Each structure stands twice: as structure tokens, then as C-alpha cells.
Structure 1
Amino acid sequence: MLFILGLTNSLSVALQRKDQDILNAMSLVKSTKQQLCKLRDDGWNSLLTKVFAFCENHDTELLIMDDVFVDPRKPRKRSNMANLHHYQVECFYTVLDMQIQEFNDRFDEVNTELLGCVASLSPIDSFHEFDPLKVMRLSEFYPEDFTSVDRISLEHQLGLYIDNIREDERFANLKSMGDLAHVMVETRKYLSHPQVYRLLKLVLTLLIATATVERCFSAMNIVKTSLRNRIGDKFLNDCLVSFIEKELFDKVTNEIVMKMFQDMKERRITL
């Protein structure tokens, strides 16, 4: 548990950061996956050595790996396997294989390529990661939003877009793609580069449609308890909004709520 959680904890914390750079995140995913594979291939002996050292330091009985494994749930039934096979194959390898398979499912080649292409629109360091080929490849992921004519128009816009943006001082110190979209609207450059702006909006929607949705489903498991199993959709939605947007609701004072109810209709007494 300490080995696996120790390897994945840094990645988990990094992926939850709102200001996480996509390229750095994907690089961290790749490194974590490599470490898990390395642990599976060469980590058993070092783990066993640490376990035996821990047992000796705390006067705990040591298991003999060549003895027959006894299932504590069925102690009278012969398992026909050694302790070594159980702990190495059925525990160690199985858990690591589950972790590696989860990485492969969540970060397959298509998702990795998509996120790599998304990073090419990043404005950090004066659009250092900008790559016209990756931007064109990114548009191919949205066939319903970019026709063949739109992609040709996008290809013609990219050279003018990057030169125009880099020469404008208002785009010099941007930190995220959300800032880029905001400044493009303020400077009305979204009218000059409509295809790039459309692609930028799709990318921003992609981020919302993944992490935010998963957080909402996690919140639903907390809000919709066994005592609320017959809750209606509207009431459930109101409860979820209050639970998810805690930071915003902390700014709402009791006086504001009372004033709102007072303004809704006339009452017999003053709230």
C-alpha cells in the first residue's frame, strides 16, 4: 500500500491542481506508469526484504514463503499453493496489474495524443508549445465542428494568428487558455481568427466535461444518501449546487438571504 500510494500520490495531487500544465501532467502520468511497471518487474525482492525487516524490528512472526498458504476464511481447506505464490502472484502482481490497466484505460493513446494537441494552444512562455501540425490534428478530433473547408481555413489562419498574437503585448503574460480566450474577446481578435477561437472554446469545454463532471458524480454519492433515496431531481440539483459551490455560498450572508425573501412578497411579519 505504501509503495503504490507513494507512487501515485504525487500524480493524484498534480492532476487536481487547476493550474496544472497539460504537458507536465502527461509527462508525470508516463513516469508514474513506468515506475509501476518497474515495481512489478523488479520490486518484489526489495518489498519482501523491507517486510521481513519490519517484522524483525517489531517481533512479528515471519511467514515461511515455501510453506502451504492457509486461507484464514477457510482454514481447513487446502489451498495447494505456497505463501510465495499467494502473496507475489495473487496480491502483489494482481494489484499492480489493476493499477497499470487503469492507467491504460484512462490515458490511452488517443487521449494522450488529444491532450498533447491541446497543449499546443497554451499561451504560457509566449506560446512556446505552439505547433501548427498539432493544432490541425486537434481539429480532426471534432469532425462535427470542423468540416474539410473549415480545416483549410484554419490552416491558413494559424500563421497569421501566431504572429499577430505574439506581437501584441496584451497576450504576453497569459497563464492559461481561459485567459487567452478572455483576452481574445476583449481585444476582438476572435473576429479575426474565428476558427482558432472555436477550437479554443472546444478545448475549454473538454476540461469541464471531464474533471468537473467526475467531481459532480462524486458529490452525488455524498449528497444522495439512503435517507434521500426518493429525492426529486430539482431538489437534488439544488443540494448539489450548494454542496459543490461551497466557496461561492460562503460569501452569501444571512442578511442577503433574508432580504431576498422579503422582496419576494409581502409578509405579515418582518423577517
Structure 2
Amino acid sequence: MTLLSKQTVKSQSDYRTRLNASIECAYFLLHQGLPFRCHDECECSSNQKNYLELLHFLSRNNEAIKRVTFNETPRHNKLTSPDIQKDITQAAIEEITNERFKMMRENDWESLLEKVSSFCIKHDIDILIMDDEYKLLDLMVLGDQLDTYIIDLCGDDEFSGIEVIKLLLLLPVATATVERVFSAMHIVKSRLRNRMGDKWMNDSLVVYIKKDIFDKIDNEAIMKQFQNMKTRIKQL
């Protein structure tokens, strides 16, 4: 093995160790609904807030992490920026979504399809056939297509009760879900996070509310999603 190859293997190993440590920090904070950052995160600050302080704690108690974090790594590749934190969270959400679809297929997918089919038959609506080849991306697009479909129907007098139909479809899950969301929001959007954006708040809430699924996802899966996201961005 050449010197360059050895350096490449070592840099890749260091990167994985650093990314895994960053995921561990994000996992703990997301699981507890805690803020990540503060206004003063310079190296001279006595309190760099939760994310960086937690990473400092890990580095002090783990020699392998200490060797690849903070001053021991290139400035452009520390994996501690706000964008990296949000990307890690997004990768976790994608894994939660995948796990949720898997659980639906294994447990209550057939029951859900039966209810949807019954509704479609009753109202003379074409039934969409969703086989195993139906892609997750296609399922995500369905939400936008449904919104467009509803807008079109609202302009038709024959379907003036479409809002009532929407309410009937949403009501069984809305009451319990909304209560959980508002309860979680009081924890996630605290006084220290009163300026957080909608996207970041939504992502934080999803992970906090679905922590039962989040707990089942290992760091390796989040790493793969994170790398896939970075690859997609480079290809754009």
C-alpha cells in the first residue's frame, strides 16, 4: 500500500469517527428536545452551549474522538457547523420515514388500504394500485398531487363538500396527533429557541415525537443517508 493510499484510508477512518461523534451529539439533543447552539460559540467562550460542549465532553473521554476533532482536524471539515447539524437531523428524518413505511407494510398497511379502498369505492374514485415497486419518492410527490387535486375540485360545484371530506379523513388522527405536537412544541421551542425557523422546528419536532422509531435507528444508517444527501447535492 502506498503512502497516499494509507493517508486516504486514515482520513476516511478519521472522518467516520468524527461524523459518528457528531451524530451521537445530535442524537442526544434531538431525543431530549434540547437546543443545539448559542450566540457565542467562539473558541474562547466559556460556554459554547450544548452541541459543542457535548462534543468536547466526548473528546475528553474518548481518545479516538479526541484525535479527530476540534484542533486536530481541518477547519473546513470539523462537522460542527449549523448546516451539518441540520443535515444530520434531515438524514435521521429520512430514516424515520423509511422505518415508518416499513412498519406500515408489516403491520397496518393492509388495514389502511382497506379503509382507503372502501372510501374510494363509496365515492366512485379510481383506486391507485401501489405495489412493491412504488418508490418512496413517488409517495412523497403524492402529497403535492393531492393538494392540486383538491384545488381543482374546489372550483367544481359538484364537489362543494370536499372540505368536509378532508375533515372526515383527517379527524381520526388529527385530535391525538395535534395534542402530541403541541405538548412537544412547549419542550422543543423553548425561550432559548424562540427564533428558530419553521423547517428546523418541524424537523426537531418530528424526531422528538417519533423517538420510539428514532431509537431503533443505528448511526450507520444515518451516516449512509447523510452521505447520500451530500452526493445528491454535488450532482445538482
Q: TM-score, normalising length from structure 2?
A: 0.30
Q: Which has the higher contact order (CA 8 A, sep 6+)?
A: 2
Q: TM-score, normalising length from structure 1?
A: 0.26
Larger Rg: 1
